[in-house]
Amino acid sequence: MSNSMDIREIQNLIKFVAKSGATEVKLEMDDFKITIKTTNEGAETTTTYVQQVPVSNALPQAQAAQPVAPTTPVTPVAKEGEDTSKFVVIKSPIIGTLYRKPAPDKPVFVEVGSTISKGDVVCVIEAMKLFNEIESEISGKIVKILVDDSSPVEFDQPLFLVDPS
């Protein structure tokens, strides 16, 4: 059993270091090293994965040693027999943490059934202490929300399914 950290633990560590005022923190574990350096702009992270297993005879372990960000399965998003080809997917333009609300005490930007117009903010994604408003490229109705609030997202990961009718 590897003692890897998941992406959320790493993000929490970055936030903690940024708040603590430390200028540099190094963390080394069996299968990776993390160096977090803070600047006036915010925290900057370098993650180095260390493979101690020869890849030729140990492919399964080598792959398991790399922590992978949880991704949302994209497969069937609709009920059996329902045509999803007419729906448009809003994808994440960046890597970061998705928030469905502008602030913890505010309502969510969109719900399933919300009608959106081109340019409407559907969520914010926080990356390196910067909150990026994600605007819809299309008008339509939200039919499915594919990511939970406060979840890490990858570049190009599907976030919302929209019926553009």
pLDDT tens digits for range 46-92: 555 554 544 444 444 444 444 444 444 444 444 444 566 789 999 99
pLDDT in tens, 102-126: 999 999 999 999 999 999 999 999 9
pTM for the whole structure: 0.51
Cβ 98 vs Cβ 122: under 8 Å: no
Structural element, H or E, at residue 24: strand 24-28
